[in-house]
Structure 1
Amino acid sequence: MTEYPAFLDVHPGPPGGNGPLPSEVVTGAWMVQCGGALRASAIGSCMAVGIADIKNKVGGLAHILLPGVAPAGRKDRTHLYAGEVLPALVDQIRGLGGERMVAVIAGGGNVLRRPDDTICGANIRSAREVLEKLGVVILASSVGGFERRGFRMDLERVAFYCTTGCGVEELLWCNPRE
């Protein structure tokens, strides 16, 4: 198995039930676990990408800051880029028994309302392109606009939720068998 830097945190998750509060995935980090729940807060132009295996209830969440891959000579920053993080995330999920993976994405909002902002759209495109190359189907998304978001995934139910602005948490997708 590939070795990954220390900012990758692999958790076993709580045994059965809903367990404790979700583990927080901060900007520029990702986490993989069996069962339990994960969340990312303060998602502006960055992207939250939740990936799960519906059958095996293993998955991970990446809170990605930038599109593409790290520039040459900046391999110390790979944890910030969609093109580096998502393949590593998928590899780690496979290492915990994940096979047929699906994704839900959120973010890419122009929260500063800058007319010339290009990072938002680039982050959305990059996440979609990398997931497509990895063969991971995106089942739902909440992207773009001008509001910050929060994202939560429940690996017990294989359900993905999003909060936009000061709104209430909404279900984006849930395993229909649960």
Structure 2
Amino acid sequence: MNVIKVGMADLNIAKSPDRIRTTGLGSCVGVVLFDNQNKIGGMAHVMLPDSSLSKGMLNTAKYANTAIPKLIEDMERAGANRRKLIAKLAGGAQMFAFSVASDAMRIGPRNVEACKLALNEARIPILAEDTGGNCGRTIELDSCTGILNIRTVNQGVKEL
């Protein structure tokens, strides 16, 4: 069994028996897709809600509206069945308190909303989520079982 690492603004896939992990989810959202029949998991570490914010070269994995379609495409290429995919989300914290209640400062909640929109457009159901709050998270998906382990600072480990 290998642990495949996903960096910030990155995405990757894992087939059974491998696991896939990302660390440092603050306002970023970890989007996990899983095909239980074919035992294929995918993960995107989404930093920002929309690629229209991009200047210059586009990193597809950085934005919710481009990362999720790319992850689905990569998983299908690896043998996953799009109609069998389910999603789990983690992250999207509001890491800092701001004196001005500007929508631009709500990066975490906006990332969660954008990921949900992209998954809805792709007709992929969200089975579970651990989003919001103000703590960082590390997530790891077991591509054999589809269980997502979430480690949160000062809150231990939970399974989705």
TM-score of the aligned structures, taking structure 2 as reference length: 0.89
For residues 6 and 54 of structure 2, what CA distance do their matches in structure 1 show? 26
2:76 is aligned with 1:94: yes
Counterpart code for 1:24: K
Which of 57, 65, 86 aligns to 1:83? It is 65
Partner residue, 1:151 = 139
Partner residue, 2:126 = 138
Which of 18, 24, 28 aligns to 2:9? It is 28
Residues 72 and 124 of structure 1: CA distance in aligned 2, closer, same or farther (over 3 Å) = closer
Counterpart code for 1:133: E
Partner residue, 1:108 = 92
For the Cα contact (< 8 Å) 1:113–1:146, is it kept in 2?
no
Please, which runs of 5 or more residues in structure 1 have no aligned partner?
1-18, 173-178
Partner residue, 2:112 = 124
Post-superposition offset of 1:170: 0.8
Partner residue, 1:45 = 27
Residues 69 and 97 of structure 1: CA distance in aligned 2, closer, same or farther (over 3 Å) = same
CA RMSD for the aligned pairs? 1.5
For residues 101 and 120 of structure 1, what CA distance do their matches in structure 2 show? 24
Post-superposition offset of 1:30: 0.4
Post-superposition offset of 1:113: 2.7
Post-superposition offset of 1:79: 2.6
Please, which runs of 5 or more residues in structure 2 have no aligned partner?
none
Post-superposition offset of 1:167: 2.5
Post-superposition offset of 1:52: 0.8
TM-score of the aligned structures, taking structure 1 as reference length: 0.80
For the Cα contact (< 8 Å) 1:70–1:77, is it kept in 2?
no
1:46-94 alpha-carbon deviations (Å, 9 max, x no partner):
0000101011001211001000224476343333101011100001111
2:43 is aligned with 1:55: no
1:14-43 alpha-carbon deviations (Å, 9 max, x no partner):
xxxxx24x2221111001121210111110
For the Cα contact (< 8 Å) 2:28–2:108, is it kept in 1?
yes
Higher relative contact order (CA 8 A, sep 6+): 2
Post-superposition offset of 1:163: 1.5
Q: Secondary structure at the match of 1:76?
A: coil
State the identity as a percent. 24
Post-superposition offset of 1:107: 0.6
